[in-house]
Structure 1
């Protein structure tokens, strides 16, 4: 490997899932599978990789079913048979108990962790803080970069985790940029060199089935907040009174 040769990380968010039922009651986030749209997104991403002739040396998932299913469908579409490696340090931000969040704090609890440059003490849904997330994600990425056994790796992870990785790549600092969109099933491409500061972000938030993403201008957490409000009998706007 020459001094200027970089290796490639393909970073995906898992495909779409259904977190709440029609009444706004939450499903267990540790168990939700891909829904029909999510399966379509995962297969479409795999077809993009196949069309480009991309071959992976390593495939890493968080272990949650939605990442495992997404990675499996991507590999099926590319015709590659690679065992999935589970890294639990890359699991999604851990939320607290939704029922413990007062109505007036719902909006901040849902979207505050993804608003601009996020303070480390900011908690996600009353649970894990952004600082705690970076405490486990940054070392995991450093270990991956120190592993010289791969040239091209696929990571299939989560929206919050992906933001931590992309923020690290863009700044090479302990900064969390919450407003980096990560559409379900999206693909990011990051090149890494030998030096710690050698990051090149090539592609961000590319959706294989919605390249211009014109169907919505809401964030994932804004949509989930509106869904959850139904379980409390709240209408849009009432949470802020």
Structure 2
């Protein structure tokens, strides 16, 4: 068999955060830190990497606090002294003003961007569209692949961004597969070759704290919709 050198991308979603208070009022998504469960998830992922003896050449985050803290906890477990690079084009889908969304449009606004093969014009929470997300995520991943100074890289990003990357890897096309689950703190593994079409998706949505994910059959956005509805019902 001829040598076929591929490089490895470990793609994580940040650990769990609390987006709404007990009354359903939203916190600023740009500022929320990890909650207790999120900290446990991040450390558990780090322990998995450490147990496998994995060493990262680079670590890339979006720069939002929840990715900063997740990456820091992973690196604390692996014992690597790496300064994560902040790539702001990899921040999560940007929502609009929740109070401006009519009641009858709330469900679509929350869950529509993660439902099957998603049309590019579909907006997330009345804000950024799926097409706009791919406009910034795909070129960033292409740029990373073109850089030759790494063999193994860790990306700590977001549920929507990860779906855009995984969809790109699975299809090599401009397609967004919304129903690719991304549990908080999960790990995905993607191998990439020199050819643009050379993607191998090795692992998707591995959750070290819940390998069988039996706690819930709801999506993250379904849970968040129910939390927000508390405020709407008042």
TM-score by length of structure 2 reads 0.99
Within a 5 Å distance, the mapping from 1:22-101 to structure 2 comes to 22-101=22-101
Cα RMSD between the aligned structures? 0.8
Which residue is equivalent to 1:193?
Answer: 193
Conserved 8 A contact 1:167-1:175: yes
Within a 5 Å distance, the mapping from 1:68-147 to structure 2 comes to 68-147=68-147
- The change in CA–CA distance for 1:3 and 1:89 in structure 2 (over 3 A counts) is farther
CA distances 1:10-57 after superposition (whole Å, capped 9, x unpaired): 000000000000000000000000000000000000000000000000
Which residue is equivalent to 1:212?
Answer: 212
* 1:4 CA displacement: 1.1
How far apart in 2 are the matches of 1:204 and 1:93?
A: 20
- The answer for unaligned runs of 5 or more in structure 2 is none
Conserved 8 A contact 1:3-1:194: no
Structure 2 residue matching 1:139: 3-state secondary structure = helix
How far apart in 1 are the matches of 2:233 and 2:121?
A: 30
Runs of 4+ deviating beyond 4 Å: none
In the alignment of these two chains, the number of paired residues is 233
Structure 2 residue matching 1:8: 3-state secondary structure = strand
Which residue is equivalent to 2:163?
Answer: 163
TM-score by length of structure 1 reads 0.96
Structure 2 residue matching 1:203: 3-state secondary structure = strand
